[in-house]
Structure formats: structure tokens, C-alpha cells
């Protein structure tokens, strides 16, 4: 019994001495690089007829299934990124710009290089694009200090809009 205990102590001592030597040639493990994700969010609504001809969105209704595009151009005005996103039942879109790259830190920054445009509305009764918040020309992005953090990632969220379509036909309102 004493010899078994003695043998066990020798094995444990040897493994404690030899284990660091066995792993000494292995390179230290690198932690995964931190991934920074760029995200764009906003809403698409149907402008009420009472606000026809203005940028007013009071009484506007969200449009589910509306499509918007995010277009980014590099500092030479070439399209460097394009992706379309669809709104949910609240008219809200949240689009991750997977593959977006900045070659020049300032000139290719999303606040300068990216815009959101209206693409289509699924509603036949509300499918005329408006230029509210530049939905036709391209709505600029805003940074509203919104970020999400994880162990190896960070999401930076930019906002656009709200954007809107309008009905094709509105009954004229007589003003007395």
C-alpha cells in the first residue's frame, strides 16, 4: 500500500513538472478579434391625407413589408455597399451592414457615405414615395449614441428617417 502511494506521488510530481514543458512549444492562444458590426434602423410609414404636401407624419400608419435600401459610396463616389431590408409589422427595419468596409476612416464613414432610400411599398393604397426625410434622394444617417456590446462584438447603430409613402389619391379637404 505504501509503495502504491509512493508511486502515485512520483507520477503526480512528474506530471506537474513535465506538463508545462510539453505545452511550452505551443503558441499562446489568441483571443478572437473583436467584431464591430454596423447597423441601420428606422421606420417606414404611410402619410395620412391630411398631411399631403408636407413633411408631417401625424396620424401616419406603419407599413409592414416596405422595402428600403442602404447605399454607401466610397470617397470616389463609387457604390461600395448595397443591401435592401424589409420592415416588420411596426414599420421598423433593422439592417446589419454585413460586408461594409471603410477604406478611408473619415471619407468612407457610414455617417458620410451611407444613405437610406425607399424602394417599395406592399400597399396599393399607399405606394407613392415621398421625400420626407429625403426618402427618395437618400436619407442621411444619424448617430444617436446607441451601441450594443458582447464578449467579442460591438454593434454601432445608426438611424435614418422616418420615411414615408403617401396614398395615390386623397380626397381634397375644403377649408372654410
pLDDT digit string (tens) for 10-33?
544 544 444 444 444 555 555 566
Write down the pLDDT at residue 137: 95
Write down the pLDDT at residue 59: 92
* φ, ψ dihedrals at 148, nearest 5°: -125, 135
Please state the separation of Cα 52 from the chain's center in Å: 31
Residue 4 predicted with pLDDT over 80: no
Q: What is the dihedral of CA 95, 96, 97, 99, to 10 degrees?
A: -140
| Dist CA 51 CA 74 (whole Å) | 36
Pick the CATH number of 35-166 from 1.10.10, 1.10.3470, 1.20.58, 2.60.40: 2.60.40
Q: Where are the domains of the chain?
A: 35-166
| Dist CA 15 CA 25 (whole Å) | 17
Write down the pLDDT at residue 2: 52
> What pLDDT, in 10s, does the model give residues 46-96?
999 999 889 999 999 999 999 999 999 888 888 989 999 999 999 999 999
Write down the pLDDT at residue 139: 96
Least confident residue range of 67-71, 109-113, 140-144, 155-159: 109-113
> Which pLDDT band, with edges at 50, 70 and 90, does 106 fall under?
low
> What pLDDT, in 10s, does the model give residues 121-152?
999 999 999 999 999 999 999 998 888 888 88
> Which pLDDT band, with edges at 50, 70 and 90, does 111 fall under?
confident
* φ, ψ dihedrals at 5, nearest 5°: -65, -40
Residue 162 predicted with pLDDT over 50: yes
Q: Which of 89, 91, 85, 87 is nearest to 114 (CA)?
A: 85
Q: What is the DSSP string of 117-163?
A: EEEE-S-TTS-EE--GGGTTT-EEPEEEEEEEE-SSEEEEEEE---E
Q: Coil, strand, or helix at residue 6?
A: helix
Q: What is the dihedral of CA 121, 125, 128, 129, to 10 degrees?
A: -40
| Dist CA 176 CA 170 (whole Å) | 18
* Residue 63 β-bridge partners: none
Write down the pLDDT at residue 7: 47
* φ, ψ dihedrals at 64, nearest 5°: -80, 135
Amino acid at each position: 500500500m505504501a509503495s502504491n502511494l509512493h508511486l502515485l506521488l512520483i507520477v503526480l510530481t512528474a506530471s506537474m513538472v513535465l506538463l508545462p514543458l510539453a505545452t511550452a512549444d505551443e503558441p499562446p492562444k489568441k483571443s478572437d478579434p473583436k467584431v464591430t458590426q454596423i447597423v441601420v434602423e428606422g421606420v417606414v410609414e404611410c402619410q395620412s391625407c391630411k398631411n399631403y404636401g408636407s413633411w408631417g407624419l401625424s396620424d401616419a400608419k406603419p407599413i409592414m413589408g416596405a422595402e428600403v435600401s442602404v447605399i454607401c459610396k466610397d470617397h470616389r463616389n463609387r457604390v461600395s455597399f448595397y443591401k435592401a431590408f424589409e420592415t416588420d409589422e411596426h414599420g421598423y427595419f433593422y439592417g446589419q451592414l454585413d460586408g461594409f468596409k471603410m477604406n478611408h476612416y473619415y471619407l468612407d464613414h457610414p455617417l458620410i457615405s451611407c444613405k437610406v432610400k425607399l424602394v417599395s411599398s406592399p400597399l396599393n393604397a399607399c405606394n407613392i414615395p415621398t421625400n420626407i426625410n429625403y426618402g427618395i434622394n437618400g436619407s442621411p444617417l444619424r448617430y444617436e449614441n446607441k451601441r450594443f456590446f458582447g464578449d467579442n462584438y460591438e454593434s454601432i447603430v445608426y438611424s435614418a428617417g422616418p420615411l414615408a409613402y403617401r396614398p395615390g389619391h386623397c380626397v381634397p379637404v375644403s377649408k372654410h
